[in-house]
Structure 1
Amino acid sequence: MMNSMTTARGESFPHNPGFRGYHVLYRENEVNHCPGCGRTHWYVGRVSAECGFCGTALPLAEATARGTGGFSRAHGPLAIADAA
């Protein structure tokens, strides 16, 4: 099991989310149909939206573009301070 999750064959990380293809996102200012039940009533939070009928949760498209997962310590003013 662990061999399937490691880079045994010299390829990049096999479970990289960037390579998984199409994934459903909640897009602001558009009609969003729930992939679970097809309805359009949503409770929208800061990073996700939840269907008001079946509870299916989707990440916000805007949150994934600017979320905390996009920051790296290797870039920016902290990298210069750490190098000194």
Structure 2
Amino acid sequence: MTRAAPFDPRMRGYAVFYRPGGSNICPGCGRSHWYVGRISAECAFCTVALPLCEPGGGRFDPDGIYVA
């Protein structure tokens, strides 16, 4: 029986987040007007929704792993 490799969040691929206070370009249409809620932001033109980078006051460490 083969043992599975442990989960490594750095290997999950590219993740897009809405960063409050930053320059946020929509990955769907390229515009930059957003409706920002408590846990996500939605593009005003094409309705693509992105999670907020810091939903609960958390942050990302240098490896890109979310730390609450």
Superposed pair shares fold, TM > 0.5: yes
1:12 aligns with 2:3: no
Please state whether the residue corresponding to 1:61 is helix, strand or coil: coil
Q: Sequence identity of aligned pairs in percent?
A: 53
Question: What does 1:5-84 align with in structure 2 at a 5 Å threshold?
Answer: 9-10=2-3, 11-13=5-7, 18=9, 19-63=11-55, 66=58
How far residue 27 of structure 1 moved from its aligned partner, in angstroms, is: 0.2
Please list every run of 5 or more consecutive structure 2 residues that lacks an aligned counterpart in the other structure: 59-66
How far residue 31 of structure 1 moved from its aligned partner, in angstroms, is: 1.3
**Structure with more of its chain in helix, by fraction:** 1
Please list every run of 5 or more consecutive structure 1 residues that lacks an aligned counterpart in the other structure: 1-7, 72-84
Q: Which has the higher contact order (CA 8 A, sep 6+)?
A: 2
Give the whole-Å Cα distance in 2 for the aligned partners of 1:20 and 1:9: 22
Residue type at the aligned position of 1:53:
F
Give the whole-Å Cα distance in 2 for the aligned partners of 1:48 and 1:9: 39
How far residue 42 of structure 1 moved from its aligned partner, in angstroms, is: 0.3
Structure 1 length-normalised TM: 0.58
Q: Flag the structure with larger Rg.
A: 1
The two structures, once aligned, show a CA RMSD in angstroms of 2.3
Residue type at the aligned position of 1:12:
P
Q: Give the paired residue count.
A: 58
Q: Deviations over 1:45-67 (max 9, x none)?
A: 0000000000000000011763x
